[in-house]
Structure 1
Amino acid sequence: MSLSELTADVESAYAALDDAEITLDGESKMELAMLQAALEEDDPATLVRRGIHMLFQSTTETGKLDFHLRGAYDVTYDEYLSGMTYEEMTGGTNPTSSDDDRRYQF
């Protein structure tokens, strides 16, 4: 898969969310109700949005998002945001390195 396929999949999933009604299981409903009561939030959708933001941030910060994107699409989130792969950003060439240069690579 590629950057263009990832972009198409994200756009497709985004469009599908307009019509989606998400149903919750009993455990999720109980947890959402507990959060509503504890945080004094009347609108459960606000808490769902906050939960999605937290999950996205956590997945991004731990590198899990890049791991899954690299495995499925062979790109990272930074590449997706920029609209080009690292190879495209650098002109598609890798400078040759000597053995001495390798010790500085992580």
Structure 2
Amino acid sequence: MTKHPMPKRDKVVNWDTVEPVYVNRVISAGADGATICVNLGRQEVRYDELEGQPSEPVVTVCDKLVLTPKAAADLANILTRTLAQAGYIPSEKKALLGKEKVIN
């Protein structure tokens, strides 16, 4: 059996100047054969300036994430693992114990 070397991990530089984007809706996702584009949004209630009354909630596109298929698969795996560890999706053990959290 041939041993394959472990892939070398990339050096990551985390810039402090990169602003986080708050997202509470995934609006859409699509693939064009080379990339996967995910439109991210934020649901907001706006207020009429004259009357001070809230409007109907509006979802505003706040960012577009364009990923290679490999990056999309990496993101899916990381999100699945993170959500399971946080208790938002049931793993087999957590499902048996009934300790799942519900996401609204």
Scaled by the length of structure 2, the TM-score of the pair is: 0.30
Per residue, is there more strand in 1 or in 2? 2
Identify the structure with the greater helix proportion.
1
Q: Which has the higher contact order (CA 8 A, sep 6+)?
A: 1
